[in-house]
Structure 1
Amino acid sequence: MRREIRETKVLKLLPAVILKVFQNKRNRKKSHYSLNQRLYRCDSMIFTVFLFSMFCLQKMGVTCSQDIFHGSTIALEKIMVVEKDIRTAVEEYVVTLERRIEIAKRYLQDSQKSDKNSEKVVIQNGDSSSYFSSEITISQKERVLFNPLKVFKLIRNLAITLPSLEKDLQRDEERRFLRNLESVRKGVTFPQQADLNSATEGLLRVQDAYDLDVFSFANGDFEGLSTNSSLNAADCFIIGSYSLSANIFTRAIEWLERAYHLVHNEPDTSISSQTVWKQLKDAVSRHNSALISPHLPKSQHLFRDPVDSSHGDWKKKLGTRRRKRLDNPTYPLYMTEPSFTDLTNFAALCRGEQLQAASSQKNLVCWLDRRSPHAILLPIRVELLHEKPQVLQIYDILPASLSSGIISATSATLSRSRVHGSRSESHKLVSAQRTSSSTWMHDAKVLKKMGVIYTRLQSLLGLDLKSKGACEHFQVSSYNSCGHYNPHLDNILKSKTGHAMEKAELDLGDRLATLMFYLSDVPRGGFSAFPRLGIVTRPVKGSAVFWFNEKINGDVEPLSLHGGCPVLYGNKWIANQWIRANSQMFARKCSKDNTKGSSI
């Protein structure tokens, strides 16, 4: 009886333990990703639809879930350490269970023949010359009692094997396992459903931004960069189901097809094929209904043709790329008013498309600047990326040691980046418009070293970078994989209306210009794109990008709209130095003549 109680306890408690550790309460709140697809009717690329939706929701004051892991390097590093400890605890528990199962199996193997009702025994008599044999049938009781070997095994099983199993069960390893997990989890915030939703959105974002093939992407191929990571059928099912709930039918079908391929063609038992097939059929049915419905908005993510859900021929179609129901977009440049073009251009630039005509690039040059005494022996390497308004990329301006020092000095204080709200300066929101972590630099030693860099740059830029009030505090930001920042302007006084800013802040003036330092290289993705100019800057460690946010007469420079492309693979670190206008009244005098453009 005791043994039965213990075995029942193990069977009942194990699922509860696994659920308690790895299953979180479902968040039934609709994600913004799914809501966005119903808000806007547009006939363009999936990524631009997503960006446009996030932008409009931000204007409406709607923010994403208060997840703390998506875009947070520190939070991810913490749970990585904890997950390693949990894995160790689970491995120890599995060893315990395997030992118990082995003892139980050994007991069953030794006694399984005793379950037969009867057996035939061959009795041989005589020598080889007078040999004869006969068979007799004996009962189960007699079979044990007559055979000394079986008697020995019976006594051995009940005297040693079974007590050993009972003793092992009495150790209550389940409670010990739970105590270990509670100790590991103590004081650590674990991801919730909102965090999983954000991670899923991040995968869909980079997939759409770089037009990645699902089969290659799920196998860990990031635009030719192969990794040893991959997604199993259950992972693909989660992404496909999330896409389906968001009415992103093209992505839903592609990811569910991948899951179906894994459970059928590879030894993947993470989810049943029936479950995947049922969801896949639902996705295909809803897609085909939406394709012929005249009432659904054109923003639905659809293929040009109906998807054939024939089960018999499905395997032949797995992995084939279907044409989406998208118009061929155009990329007009130098638009000064907000429009959907900002997002179509941004998406195209992130994918590496060339939007600038060759004739527009004939005056772009590189040079070594030696105008400062500090640059005579060590000239500054400058590249002109756009002429009017000027966008410069300055190379090798930050030593590698200083870049690493900035990262080390700020890593511990990073927190999820926020954006300005619509009503007050204090109303800063966590938003899907910007998925990164940021902090402000206050390390005196690092700032002193940056003063040397500013001295070198002042002569090149013709601006005051060192006087009190000339620049804002040094902001450092980290973009994890999938991290991005939608197109935006850096102005805070003219472009963001209704902010109740302090007088000291207003006295500094608006952000005249931006000086952005790249603190790390990025293996894939992470460009900074200027959609109205049709150019990108590539994250090169130690370089800096400079542009003006205001025209020469003090008006906002609308062509300075820029954004951060999603990081496909790697981690992008940048540092922003915003140069305020009022401190530059002598260095850069105002003029009503805007024909000069925004240039140094």
Structure 2
Amino acid sequence: MLLWTEKWSLTALLLPLLWWSCVNGEFYSSIHAMSKVFGYEQKLLQHMQKFIADNDSKLDFLKARLEEFERERNEALQWGVAYFESPLNKYLLSKRLTLDWQRIANLMAASTGEKSLSRLHQLRQRKHMPNEAELEGAIDGLLRLQSIYRLQTKHVAAGILDGVSYGTQLNAEHCLDIGQQALRLEHLQLAHAWLMEANNRLTTAEDHHQLQPQIAEKLAQVKARLSNNQGVNGTVEKIEEHSPVPENLTVLSEFDAYRYTCSGHIKPTPSDQRDLRCGYLTETHPFLLLAPLKVEELRTEPLLLLYHEVLYQSEIDVITKLTRNKIERATVTGQNSSTVSNARTSQFTFIPKTRHKVLRTIDQRVEDMTGLNLMFAEDHQFSNYGVGGHYAQHMDWFYPNAFETNQVANPEMGNRIATVLFYLTDVAQGGGTAFPIIKQLLKPEKYAAAFWYNLHASGVGDTRVLHGACPIIAGSKWVLNRWIRENYQSDKRPCELWDDSQISLSQLLELSRRASKQI
């Protein structure tokens, strides 16, 4: 078991919210929301195309008149004074210098494409259009990926993420933007790496003239701060992007344990896995004798199970329709209020099981899987994660202060005794669920579901199931949470004859074995 030097850190006190409220923007926190914004960009392009087309027509007309006037003028120059002997030529010249040139002047002064420009402005003011804060959030997600998965800046700038090339190159200006934000966020080593990459990617004389002074200024700031930072690895002349992985991974802060689990540095040993089983589950409900479930033990103390193929594509299709245009930026519950936080970057919504029979069918399946009563389970929560989307380490169970400050809906239902987490999609890279204390990393597997108890049998919150959603490198992650409450579970999961929050069954058996040897 890991020992925590910051056992009660702020992020450990952030609990999942039980209800949702509208939060504008935050497109970067969800692939679903980003797809919607991407549709808006198509409309912006259409308005821009109309603006250009209108102005092209205007310019084409002016070019044609210019050629006509120049042709007539050249003809007049060739004729000389004789040109004005014709009354028709006098008329044409007079007409050009009065009516024709007045029309030309009016056309040149007209604001062509004004309607398209107005519509473009209106579209830019829409509620869900991204702003500068959204851009900062997207960069923050990229830096989070880089930090947790220890990605090299030169690889990211070249479009290579954790060994996979996506063919997207960043230029010097992009690297400078990322470096500046890393500096603002005090990610000094990453800031230095991005600014150096920006300098390496200066290609044109214009880039050198405009960007190099900014890069030099920011690099000087980074080096000045690093020189005062005793914890930095390396000298100012040679600065490593990432601090070395600690030799002892059992004494870490909660966040460090979470990120090293996400990156695969913390993982179970062969002895941890020696007694684990997998097979077909039949004993929790008679129906399973006819349709057993495939289940895999990932841990026995505390219990962590992974059920395979417990959802159908037809059910996911229904869920997709139910959640369309309903998800909003997820919040977390602090000690006194619920707020948007960088500890949780995703979008979610809650839907009651009464909305569709498929949700009731899923609940019946959960009862068959777990043997628990879902009468007082919370509404179905659906979440979607976007650029670097994650949910840092947290507990699903509520701390006592959440009940005392009325932050828990229907407190009479009790605390969250257990969680069932369904994976509705595969994820190309990243996006796992990390349990740092028990050294487990669950990779998203479409149609699968994870199950664990949040509380000891005694009703005390189990700190061993601290977990977090790792950032997504590439892909889209949809999950369904079923949070099951304590009410009506006493006959489903009775208390033990000992306080299992103080001692586990294996420890109790070991003490009993030692005692018997001494007799």
Shorter-chain TM band = 0.7 to 0.9
Q: Deviations over 1:374-399 (max 9, x none)?
A: 33343211111112111111010011
Q: Deviations over 1:227-246 (max 9, x none)?
A: 34443433222212222233
One-letter amino acid of the structure 2 residue matched with residue 353 of structure 1: H
Structure with higher RCO (Cα < 8 A, 6+ apart): 2
Q: Match of 1:273?
A: 208
Q: Deviations over 1:299-326 (max 9, x none)?
A: xxx5513248xxxxxxxxxxxxx63473
CA contact (8 A) 1:436 1:478 kept: yes
Aligned mates of 2:273, 2:261 — CA distance in 1: 16
CA contact (8 A) 1:103 1:161 kept: no
1:328 aligns to 2:245 (yes or no): yes
Aligned mates of 1:239, 1:531 — CA distance in 2: 29
Structure 1 residues 98 and 421 mapped into 2: Cα distance closer, same or farther (>3 Å)? Answer: same
1:376 aligns to 2:311 (yes or no): no
Q: Deviations over 1:421-471 (max 9, x none)?
A: 312xxx21111111111111136363x334444444434423223xx32x1
Q: CA deviation at 1:53?
A: 9.3
Q: CA deviation at 1:226?
A: 3.3
Q: Identify which of 538, 541, 556 aligns with 2:443.
A: 538
Q: Match of 1:55?
A: 11
Structure 1 residues 364 and 430 mapped into 2: Cα distance closer, same or farther (>3 Å)? Answer: same
Aligned mates of 2:455, 2:220 — CA distance in 1: 52
Q: Deviations over 1:183-225 (max 9, x none)?
A: 5456544322222221221111112122222233234333244
One-letter amino acid of the structure 2 residue matched with residue 481 of structure 1: V
Q: Identify which of 367, 384, 388 aligns with 1:482.
A: 388
1:464 aligns to 2:403 (yes or no): no
Q: Match of 1:81?
A: 39
Q: Match of 1:313?
A: none
* SS in structure 2 at match of 1:272: helix
Aligned mates of 1:560, 1:260 — CA distance in 2: 45
CA contact (8 A) 2:30 2:389 kept: no
Q: Match of 1:205?
A: 144
Q: Match of 1:8?
A: none
Q: CA deviation at 1:168?
A: 4.4
One-letter amino acid of the structure 2 residue matched with residue 231 of structure 1: L
- Unaligned 5+ residue runs, structure 1? 1-48, 60-64, 113-140, 309-321
One-letter amino acid of the structure 2 residue matched with residue 402 of structure 1: E
1:586 aligns to 2:491 (yes or no): yes
CA contact (8 A) 2:419 2:454 kept: yes
Q: CA deviation at 1:85?
A: 1.0
Aligned mates of 1:162, 1:232 — CA distance in 2: 47
Structure 1 residues 54 and 232 mapped into 2: Cα distance closer, same or farther (>3 Å)? Answer: farther
Q: Identify which of 236, 244, 252 aligns with 1:306.
A: 236
Aligned mates of 1:204, 1:221 — CA distance in 2: 14
1:288 aligns to 2:193 (yes or no): no
Q: CA deviation at 1:507?
A: 2.2
After TM superposition, list the pairs within 5 Å mapping 1:215-230 onto structure 2. 215-230=154-169
Q: CA RMSD for the aligned pairs?
A: 4.0
Q: Identify which of 238, 244, 265 aligns with 2:177.
A: 238
Q: CA deviation at 1:58?
A: 6.5
Aligned mates of 2:258, 2:216 — CA distance in 1: 34
Aligned mates of 2:349, 2:420 — CA distance in 1: 16
Q: Identify which of 231, 242, 258 aligns with 1:346.
A: 258
Aligned mates of 1:163, 1:377 — CA distance in 2: 89
After TM superposition, list the pairs within 5 Å mapping 1:62-461 onto structure 2. 68-72=26-30, 75-98=33-56, 145=80, 166=105, 168-169=107-108, 171-185=110-124, 187-264=126-203, 272-293=207-228, 296=229, 298=231, 302=232, 304-307=234-237, 323-324=240-241, 326-330=243-247, 332-333=249-250, 340-371=252-283, 372-423=285-336, 427-442=337-352, 444=354, 446=356, 448-461=357-370
Structure 1 residues 142 and 586 mapped into 2: Cα distance closer, same or farther (>3 Å)? Answer: closer
Structure 1 residues 80 and 292 mapped into 2: Cα distance closer, same or farther (>3 Å)? Answer: closer
One-letter amino acid of the structure 2 residue matched with residue 575 of structure 1: L
CA contact (8 A) 1:440 1:473 kept: yes
Taking structure 2 as the reference length, what is the TM-score of the superposition? 0.80
Aligned mates of 1:258, 1:87 — CA distance in 2: 31
CA contact (8 A) 2:257 2:436 kept: yes
CA contact (8 A) 1:495 1:556 kept: no
Structure 1 residues 452 and 228 mapped into 2: Cα distance closer, same or farther (>3 Å)? Answer: same
Runs of 4+ in structure 1 off by over 6 angstroms are: 56-59, 102-112, 141-144, 158-164
One-letter amino acid of the structure 2 residue matched with residue 362 of structure 1: R
Q: Match of 1:491?
A: 397
Structure 1 residues 568 and 93 mapped into 2: Cα distance closer, same or farther (>3 Å)? Answer: same
Aligned mates of 2:211, 2:364 — CA distance in 1: 61
Aligned mates of 1:186, 1:325 — CA distance in 2: 40
CA contact (8 A) 2:437 2:466 kept: yes
Residue identity (%): 26
Aligned mates of 2:154, 2:366 — CA distance in 1: 47
Aligned mates of 2:342, 2:365 — CA distance in 1: 37
Q: Deviations over 1:487-525 (max 9, x none)?
A: 0011114475743257x8332221111111111111111
Q: CA deviation at 1:573?
A: 0.9
Q: Match of 2:510?
A: none
CA contact (8 A) 1:66 1:430 kept: no
Q: CA deviation at 1:363?
A: 1.6
Structure 1 residues 73 and 288 mapped into 2: Cα distance closer, same or farther (>3 Å)? Answer: closer
One-letter amino acid of the structure 2 residue matched with residue 484 of structure 1: H
Structure 1 residues 291 and 473 mapped into 2: Cα distance closer, same or farther (>3 Å)? Answer: closer
Structure 1 residues 166 and 476 mapped into 2: Cα distance closer, same or farther (>3 Å)? Answer: same
Q: Match of 1:19?
A: none
Q: Match of 1:525?
A: 430
Q: Match of 2:514?
A: none
* SS in structure 2 at match of 1:172: coil
Aligned mates of 1:196, 1:222 — CA distance in 2: 20
Q: CA deviation at 1:582?
A: 2.8
* SS in structure 1 at match of 2:406: coil
Q: Deviations over 1:343-388 (max 9, x none)?
A: 2221122123343222211122221123344333432111111121
CA contact (8 A) 1:385 1:392 kept: yes
Structure 1 residues 529 and 325 mapped into 2: Cα distance closer, same or farther (>3 Å)? Answer: closer
Aligned mates of 2:401, 2:82 — CA distance in 1: 96
One-letter amino acid of the structure 2 residue matched with residue 556 of structure 1: G
Aligned mates of 1:280, 1:210 — CA distance in 2: 26
